[in-house]
Chain A
Amino acid sequence: MTNVTNVVIAGLGGQGVLKASDILADAAFRAGLDVKKSELHGMSQRGGSVSSDVRFGPQVLSPMVPPGEADVLLVLEETQVEINRPILRANGILIGPDVLAEGALKNKKSLNVALLGAMSMVLDIPEEDWLTAMYANLAEKLHKINEHAFALGRAAALERNQAG
């Protein structure tokens, strides 16, 4: 399956991993692509490790990203980076919580959306689809704070790219 983009989002229960993957899947869906998203629910609300796979492209078959084939790995919690690293392909892109400067985020709960912002700089999905997906998947009272977080993530990624 060429032309399929593989993304894995990981973290701990309660961090909004599934919300983040919902937004990503929805954004790709709105961009007109075939999308599959998969994860294991269940014990995630009790603080265990959680990860979610999102694949998109002209046609997606299996909903799960095979080990070593993720193009992008987004991790919300430093301790979860190493255990998820085997999913990433050689030269794949890792986006971790260290993308943001310490204290840059007004509300820690929007870390998931901030890192999506950073990821939006490396994925081929129009910004308006990202924003529409974000609004559709979050309660209205959360829109402002997450808009801010998303923009912050984009700026941080840009800065990092320029520095690198």
Chain B
Amino acid sequence: MTGERLLLSGDDAVALAALHAGVKLGTGYPGTPSTEILETFDHLGGRAQWSPNEKVALEVAMGTAFAGARTLVTMKHVGLNVAADPLFTAAYTDIEGGLVLVSADDPGMASSQNEQDNRHYARAAALPMLEPIDSQQAYDFTWLGFELSERWKIPVILRLTTRVCHSKTVVVPRARIQDQPEPSFERNIPARVMIPAYAKPAHHKLRQKLAEIAAWNEQEGPTRLDEGKAELGIIATGIAAVHAREAAPDARQLTIGLTYPLPMERIRAFADGVERLVVVEEGDPMLVDALRAAGIPAEGKPEMYRFGELNVARVRRILAGDTSPEPVPPKGKPPALCQGCSHRTVFQALKDLDCIVAGDIGCYTLGVLPPFSAMDTCVCMGASIGVGLGMRHVLPEDQARRVVSVIGDSTFVHSGLTGIAEMVYNPPATGHLVLILDNGTTAMTGQQEHPGTGRLLDHSPTGKISFEALAASMGVQNVHVIDANDREDGMKTLIADLLAKPETSLVVARQPCVLAAPKIRFYEKAAAEQGCAAEPAS
């Protein structure tokens, strides 16, 4: 493979590097723009699995790393919020096998509910962060991430952004690693059991690791200097670095690869050599703030460029200090629920019944758009249940009775279970109704499997969670399953009946996503045939 030239997306480059670097297990939860990493890793022959959510994915990855194996864990930016609890304490532990956590951020919100800047997490959790500018660096930094992770026994965050994940650029890979040590358990209680007695020294140790990594970053870090005139010096990170290089080809530019902890003395030396210093970074003004805190005077970008993605035109404007209104790009055609999508029947019923809909995230969020306009809240995955319950608790009775929580099947497994526990434990006086829109896939992100489909990441069969059995066992009073497509009237009648009862109810509206249905039938058939073949001869 060495020397070969490939044209790869950033996601595929990370997957290939993971394979070459000997990753024993890849875990994660789907989320644009990170989803393809594990799918490609699987196609390339790596062992990859979807977890029910990002927190579990990171916990599995930590176990793998404690056991001495290299692990890759992938998620979109908001996924790291879900995984934040293990993340902050994982930083205190010593891991054996390298752990690289991919956080795929989405500045501009191409397909996300917010544009949070996950560089804050590196600082907050005190973990090293690498930020590639293209697919070659995505490949190289995945390798580097494992090396740093093992040298300092610390998880490393690889922060990608939508444009790095989904742009294809040229990659020259290196040779695949050969002899990887076999995982083996070594007891190390003070380094892995974070009770206060061990966590206190562990925090000091973490700060010591960071100081050493910062020193390494000064000398050997992946910092790139592009020569240019001293009149303008640019400091940039991530995709913004290539925009800047194009916008100001004559400038002198320092592109920082390991962006936490920063190589501050290297930056200071660069700053001393230029007449004007501008920091070009996408998202929040983190780098410029860090420079100023270190006493390095630098220009940042005007506030208007905090929002959305950067591009060459915007970087030109930043360098020119131009804050005049930007041209508004013409609006394209918005997406809509597919024709024949089973979500349509449900939203028609909710609209006809004038329900107050606590919504959730997935394809079905498009129910908010006309002709349905049948969603009243949408915050984060799983929020539909808690938000619906909160409204039920305080609204006047006639309104409370109209509140319904609507949640997709993948979202339900991701973070709906604790919502059901809340509903059973703190039921509103009017009761409540949760609708699970079970289309048999994670449609939104491109049809991934999850624990409710009974199939693994590679679509082969495995254990399956039954939502109806689960709800009944958790103590929900009325549990129904209904075909989402066949019976529009049936759907409406059922919802109306349940809304009239002061009881807790859960309806599973089941009908496969029309885009996924042919594939689902194919997987089911393959599984059935395999099942037959695997039957022992009697």
Contact = CB atoms under 8 A, between A and B. Distances in A.
Contact of B169 (A36, A66, A86): A36
Interface in A103-128: none
B366 A41 contact: no
Nearest to A42: B111
A62 B330 contact: no
B249 interface: yes
B167 A38 contact: yes
Interface in A16-65: 22, 25-26, 29, 34-49, 51, 60-64
B312 A66 contact: yes
Contact of A29 (B111, B162, B170): B170
Contacts of A44: 335
A84 B330 CA distance: 8
Given A46-B366, A66-B311, A86-B330, A38 B163 contact: yes
A82 B246 contact: no
A163 to B, nearest CB: 30
Given A26-B7, A38-B166, A40-B162, A61 B242 contact: yes
B421 to A, nearest CB: 32
Contacts of A47: 333, 335-336, 338
Contacts of A41: 32-33, 110-111, 166
Interface in B131-149: 134
A35 B170 contact: yes
Interface in B105-145: 108, 110-111, 134
A35 B312 contact: no
Contacts of B5: 29
B170 A34 contact: yes
B527 interface: no
B246 A37 contact: no
Contact of B32 (A42, A46, A48, A49): A42
A38 B110 CA distance: 13
Contacts of B111: 40-43
Contacts of B243: 61-62, 64
B55 to A, nearest CB: 24
Contacts of A90: none
B510 to A, nearest CB: 21
Contacts of A97: none
Given A42-B32, A48-B334, A25 B329 contact: no
B169 A12 contact: no
B162 A48 contact: no
A63 B329 contact: no
A15 to B, nearest CB: 12
B520 to A, nearest CB: 16
A13 interface: yes
B335 A43 contact: yes
A28 B95 CA distance: 44
B337 interface: yes
Contacts of B463: none
A22 B12 CA distance: 14
Nearest to A82: B330
Interface in B334-390: 334-338, 363, 366
A132 interface: no
Contacts of B45: none
Interface string A66-108: 1100000000000110111010000000000000000000000
Given A46-B363, A47-B336, A84-B330, 9 more contacts: A1-B249, A25-B7, A25-B168, A26-B7, A46-B336, A48-B336, A61-B246, A83-B331, A83-B332
20 contacts: A25-B7, A37-B7, A37-B167, A38-B163, A38-B166, A40-B108, A40-B110, A43-B335, A44-B335, A46-B335, A46-B363, A48-B333, A48-B334, A61-B243, A63-B134, A63-B163, A63-B167, A67-B313, A83-B330, A86-B327
